[in-house]
Every structure is written in C-alpha cells, then in structure tokens.
Amino acid sequence: MVSTLNKVLFSSVASAVVSTSVLAADIVKIDGSSTVYPITEAVAEEFQKETGIKVTVGVSGTGGGFKKFCRGETVISNASRPIKAKEIAKCNEAGISFIEVPVAFDALTVVINKNNDWAKELTPAELKKAWGPDAQGKISNWNQIREGFPDQPLKLYGPGADSGTFDYFTEAIIEKSKSIRGDFTASEDDNVLVQGVAGDKGGMGYFGLAYYVENKDKINSVKIQNKDGKFINPSLETVMDGSYNPLSRPLFIYLNATKAAFDPKVKKFVEFFLNNAGKLSQEVGYVPFSKTEYEAINNHYKSLKTGTAFKDGPAIGLSVEEILKKATD
C-alpha cells in the first residue's frame, strides 16, 4: 500500500518536473570547450535533422562552459578536461549534480618542420627538457635536447594557458598542471601554430590530431615513446588500441543529472549522442572509443551515476572503464 502510494507520488512529481522542464527548456542548451565543439556540432546537426528538437551550442571554453552549467543555464557542458574541484563546489552550491560522460579521444600530436630529419622520435623526458619551466632561457637549441642533434635554434609553438590541450600536455609531460616555460610562442588558434612550425626549420609544436591530419603536407608528426618503451606515431589505430600514450586524452560532456533523468528531450539527445559519437567524432577528426566502451558509457549514463573520476585532481592514461568505475560525488 505504502509502496503504491509512493509510486503514485513519485510519478506525479516526476511528471510535474517533466512538464515544467519541457516548458522551460524547449531547446537543448549546450556550451563549453572549443575542442569538443566539432563533435557536439555534428551530433546536434544530425539530431535536429532527425527529431526536429532544437539544439544550440556555444563556445565559451571548458571553464566558461562549466560556469554556465553550474548556474543551470545549460544542460550539457562540453569539456576537454575533467571538471575541477572549484567547479564541483560551484555546482554543489547551486544544487546541480552531474554525470561525467567521456565521448571520444583526442591525440595530442607533437609536430616538427618538414625539413627536420633528426627528431622523428622523442621521449617524454626529452619533451619535458624542451618544454619544462627549467628550460626557460636555457634550452634554446636542438643539440641541448639530445646528444647528436644538430646545432639548430629551437623554436617552440604551443596553445595558450586557457586551453585544455595545454593543461593535459603539462600534466602528461611535465607532470605538473599548467607548469611550463614562459618563452614560447603561444596562440589559441592552432592554425597559427601550424604556420609557425611549417615556416621554421627548428620549430616544434603540439596540438590536436585533427590539425596535424589536415596539414600533413606542411608538417611532420613525432613518434613519442610510450610506457612500454616503443616509439609510436599518433593515428586512429594507435590511439584506439591504447599504444599511443601518454598523449591521448579523453574528451567529455557533462550532463545535468536532473535534466538527464527527467527531461525527455535531453534524454533523447544524449542517447543519440552516444549511439552516433563513434561515427561522428571520427568524421570530424577525433578518435572514437570501441563499441564495448560506448556500451559501457551508455549503461553508466542510464544508471544516472553522478560525480567525476577526477575528484583528486588530474589523472593521466585512465581507460574509459576506469573513468566510469571511479566516478564519485
């Protein structure tokens, strides 16, 4: 008896929530990272074509996106890095709980000039030597990075400090978030970095795989030594089988848990997203997860498990399974 009453109560509350949210949010509002944007744009485009439900996507950056998300202005936030403790606190304050959903891989690609015939393979330690904060004002020539490298001035090109790409690179290579030398050419526009490296024999830079793939005729990628000691070129295959590490990173969307549970439009969108993320992310230059991984993500989402796997700060090289399993409020 009590349980039926509970059921009735619950369903009426749920339907009340549904009807108000349908009125309030006729549009599925998304904002956040510019890196994740192409995937979300592709999904939104197809979803809108198929269902007629309106979707908007903004590009405020991962941090700007979380600000809006934790104020309840958006229902989904694109993120090229995990949510930070400060941002979690803001969300908690506003009573917003979230579900962390990895959607695809991006491979950070280290690139060099076409005429650079010596640095086709580098180790993370050598990258740290070139990019670390200790290198500032000291390491200015390729021959300082490895013995046997020629006498050629080293010119570095990298994303600016607001970028999630920058965060991940520093965490993976320098092992300290946001710690890097100050004397390199920074730009938020990756095409500018491509131009820089393409025009400078001693140039080295890093950015997402898609920018390298589109500019293969202008720049070369560098094989990076993985934890098994092998030198691996970034590609669809090496990222998917996990051999390209430590520079491949997961991209996320964060769902407003209440909306994901009760708003049928958001539910439909997320389901559509996860069913098509593999195909569409590959189409726009990212590396999809495997089928089983997407199934696991789908189950994770359906179980409405809230929280993040990165509560204790950044972590490098987690598998999708580990990310899902570790998620805690």
Partner 1 sequence: MSKIIGHEDNLNAIRVLIKKHKKNDRIFSYIGLFVIGSLAIALLVLFLDLVIDGYPKMNLEFFSNFPSRKPEGAGILSAWVGSALVLIVTFFVAVPMGVASGIYLEEYAKKGWFADLIEINVANLAGVPSIIYGLLALGLFVYEFGLGQSILTAGLTLSLLMLPIVIVATREAIRAIPVHIREAAYAVGATKWQVTLHHVLQYAMGGVLTGIIIGMARAIGETAPVITIGALTFIAFLPPTPVTDVAPFINFAWLEAGFTVLPIQMFNWISRPEHAFHINAAATGAVIIILTLLMNGIAIKLRYSIRKKIKW
Of residues 117, 134, 183, 189, which one binds partner 1 by CB under 8 A?
Answer: 189
Contact stretch for partner 1 (CB under 8 A) within 90-98, 110-118, 183-191, 231-239: 183-191
Task: Verify binding: residue 38, partner 1, rule CB under 8 A.
Answer: yes
* Cβ atoms of 33 and 164 closer than 8 Å: yes
How far is Cα of residue 207 from the mean position of the Cα atoms in its chain? 12
Rounded Cα distance between 292 and 244, Å, is 20
Query: CB-wise, 54 or 86, nearer to partner 1?
Result: 54
Residue 27 engages partner 1 in binding (rule: CB under 8 A): yes
- Three-point CA angle 289, 291, 293, nearest 5°: 60
Q: Give the C-alpha separation, 37 to 33, whole Å.
A: 6
Q: Is 196 in the site for partner 1 (CB under 8 A)?
A: no
**Residue 107 is a binding residue for partner 1 (CB under 8 A):** no
Q: Is 269 a binder of partner 1 (CB under 8 A)?
A: no
Site membership for partner 1, residue 284 (CB under 8 A): yes
64, 142, 153, 277 from 177: Cα distances, Å = 19, 25, 27, 29
d(CA 36, CA 29): 15
Using CB under 8 A, pick the residue from 190, 200, 263, 293 that binds partner 1. 190
How many residues belong to the site for partner 1 (CB under 8 A)? Answer: 35
Of 60 and 248, which has the nearer Cβ to partner 1?
60
Give the residue from 253, 235, 237 showing the smallest Cα distance to 297: 253
What CA–CA distance (Å, rounded) separates 8 from 142?
A: 71
Distance CA 320, CA 102 (A): 7
* Shortest reach from residue 285's CB to partner 1, in Å: 6
What is the spatial distance between Cα 39 and Cα 32, in angstroms, rounded to a whole number?
Answer: 12
CB 121 within 8 A of CB 222: yes
Q: How far apart are CA 32 and CA 38, in angstroms?
A: 11
Closest CA to 34 of 187, 186, 165: 165
What is the CB neighbour count within 10 angstroms for residue 15?
11
What are the two backbone dihedrals, phi and then psi, of residue 218, each rounded to the nearest 5 degrees?
-110, -30
Nearer to partner 1, 142 or 211 (CB): 211
Region of 162-170, 177-185, 209-217, 262-270 interacting with partner 1 (CB under 8 A):
209-217
Secondary structure (3-state) at 106: strand
Tell me: does residue 58 bind partner 1 (CB under 8 A): yes
Contact window for partner 1 (CB under 8 A) among 56-64, 222-230, 239-247, 287-295: 56-64
Among 28, 36, 55, 320, binds partner 1 (CB under 8 A): 55
CB of 214 to partner 1, least distance (A): 4
Stretch that binds partner 1, among 54-62, 238-246, 258-266, 311-319 (CB under 8 A): 54-62
Give 71 or 230: the residue with its C-beta nearer to partner 1.
71
Minimum CB separation from partner 1 for residue 215, in Å? 8
Residue numbers of the site for partner 1 (CB under 8 A)? 27, 29, 31, 34, 37-38, 40-42, 44-45, 48, 54-60, 68, 73, 188-191, 208, 210-211, 213-215, 280, 283-285
